[in-house]
Amino acid sequence: MKTKIDIAVIGLGVMGANMALNLAERGFSVVAFDVNEERRHDIIKRHKPLRAAKLMTVEDLSELINQLSTPRRIVLSVPAGPIVDIICQDLMAAGLEPADVVVDTGNSQWRDSIARGQSYTDKFNFFTCAISGGELGARFGPSLMPSGDKAAWQRLKPMWQAISARVDPISGYEIARTQVDQPLPEGEPCAEYIGPIGSGHFVKMVHNGIEYADMQMIAEIVQFMRQILAMSAPEVGAVFSQWNKGKLQSYLIGITADILQTIDPKTGQPLVDMILDQAGQKGTGSWTAREALELGVPANAIAASVFARFLSTQKKVRQIGAVQLTGPIIRTEAKAEWIDKLADALYCSKICSYAQGFELMSAADKENNWILDYVSIAKIWRAGCVIRANFLNDIANAYQTEPNLINLMLAERFTDRLAKSQLAWREVLAKAVMQGMPMLAISAAMGYYDCYREADSSASLIQAMRDYFGSHTYARKDQDTKQHFHYDWHFGSGEHLVEH
């Protein structure tokens, strides 16, 4: 009797192929399928030299179904959108059974995942697991955000925790894995159950929103160093290498150091200076900003980072504006005075962007009653994913200490660090403004921080204006706030209590 295969991977693009090899290397036999014959051949070639479990490819889904041990476990690694349903339909036609589990690992929209979970009920177990960490992550250790039926998770958990990134439980640092045939390191896996179907994709979407903000804030700090401190890209890269050993340590800080110190072989210039300054986006950051608007969460630094990418695509208009729109003459500042201030400004802004991400997850959690575990989410983001950083240990500890934390900035460790660094943060922003250097995300983060410092805000005037032109009524500070008043701004009959 032929031994049946442990798991299937459908879709052998960058993420799917590397996940399949990771699974095989961790001892799970894999049957892989892609419509593209070259991809099927390529993965067999890459698998051959590995000390790994069996990996075979098939030419159709019926064969895939037949090869698998039951109840089956099938991973989809295909673009978000209709293709997910097309393959699910094809799998059902090929003999999928109700106890089988199909796992969508794409960057699918979380509402689509909920709808699929409902529409495939009783047909098969539709499960999702968002994956973060790009190509190397998929191959050697991603961060995984699984959600759906708990029983399905129990059947996937051993594999997911075997292929995921790992963290040293003592240091809290990522145990880096970038070579083939490396033994599976001990340590805490970055794959933990998130919650009911859809919650995992929501959490991944927030991860991407934070990723956008992280990237934008780094870019703004680098621009300050280049334009105002007149530093070369390699010089700035060297500073980032130093920063990557301290409180700012993160994957994105590390790759920034690498990128800025990379020389273009064609021109001998820093490669980054040869790259067209128009940022692309597949859309996950926009989804996060949209959800924030839907849920009424002030994730302005995340939204600003999305708008910054839109602005970057307006290259032609920016070239005209550079000539026609007046700004100050940039005066170079002394490097030594600013490097530490810039580190503080980046760190404070980062705290705000994570606070916004967790505020967004909390709002969605309440709306959907997911009962998310924020300690666990912070912990599985410590390694493998794009926003991985030692900083996530501090966030996990903050939620461990205060499970009902209403905002990350109010965790004692962050309140103290913001207090120590907020002046430097302000100086950096003030200098950037006076030197005409845009800091869309960092200034948004400062606005978020200062708005949460305002016990009495300008919203009183907003309410008065709304009542003035639209009789939209207002509450009074000195009355029961459930009472609504309208003031007769036009005919002088004074204020009226309005029964709603």
Binding residue for ligand 6PG (CB under 6 A) from 22, 77, 125, 208? Answer: 208
- Considering beta carbons, is residue 125 or 286 the nearer one to ligand 6PG? 286
- Identify whether the C-beta of residue 361 lies closer than 8 Å to the C-beta of residue 206: yes
- Is position 285 an interface residue for ligand 6PG (rule: CB under 6 A)? yes
Distance, CA of 446 to CA of 444 (rounded, Å): 5
Distance, CA of 373 to CA of 174 (rounded, Å): 21
- Considering beta carbons, is residue 252 or 444 the nearer one to ligand 6PG? 252
- Considering beta carbons, is residue 132 or 349 the nearer one to ligand 6PG? 132
- Identify whether the C-beta of residue 207 lies closer than 8 Å to the C-beta of residue 132: yes
Distance, CA of 415 to CA of 234 (rounded, Å): 34
- Binding map of ligand 6PG across residues 263-282, x = CB under 6 A, - = no contact: -----------------xxx
Residue 211 among the catalytic residues: yes
Q: How far is the CB of 107 from ligand 6PG (least distance, A)?
A: 5
- Considering beta carbons, is residue 270 or 285 the nearer one to ligand 6PG? 285
Nearest 5°: phi and psi at 489? -70, -20
Nearest to 458 by CA among 469, 470, 447: 447
Q: Considering only 47-55, 127-135, 248-256, 451-459, which stretch makes contact with ligand 6PG by CB under 6 A?
A: 127-135
Q: Is the peptide bond before 270 cis (omega within 30 degrees of 0)?
A: no
Nearest to 354 by CA among 387, 390, 379, 384: 387
Residue 135 vs residues 13, 17, 79, 140, 487: alpha-carbon distances, Å: 10, 9, 15, 9, 61
- Considering beta carbons, is residue 282 or 366 the nearer one to ligand 6PG? 282
Candidates 188, 192, 204, 431; catalytic one: 204
Distance, CA of 443 to CA of 441 (rounded, Å): 5
Binding residue for ligand 6PG (CB under 6 A) from 6, 34, 211, 214? Answer: 211
Binding residue for ligand 6PG (CB under 6 A) from 13, 71, 134, 447? Answer: 134
- Is position 383 an interface residue for ligand 6PG (rule: CB under 6 A)? no
Find the residue with minimal CB distance to ligand 6PG: 132
- Is position 109 an interface residue for ligand 6PG (rule: CB under 6 A)? no
Strand, helix or coil for residue 448: helix
Q: How far is the CB of 59 from ligand 6PG (least distance, A)?
A: 29
- Is position 356 an interface residue for ligand 6PG (rule: CB under 6 A)? no
Residue 204 among the catalytic residues: yes
Q: Report which DSSP code applies to 311.
A: H
Type of residue at 111: R
Strand, helix or coil for residue 484: strand
- Considering beta carbons, is residue 128 or 421 the nearer one to ligand 6PG? 128
Chain residues in the site for ligand 6PG (CB under 6 A): 107, 132-134, 208, 211, 280-282, 284-285, 385-386
**Residues belonging to the active site:** 204, 211
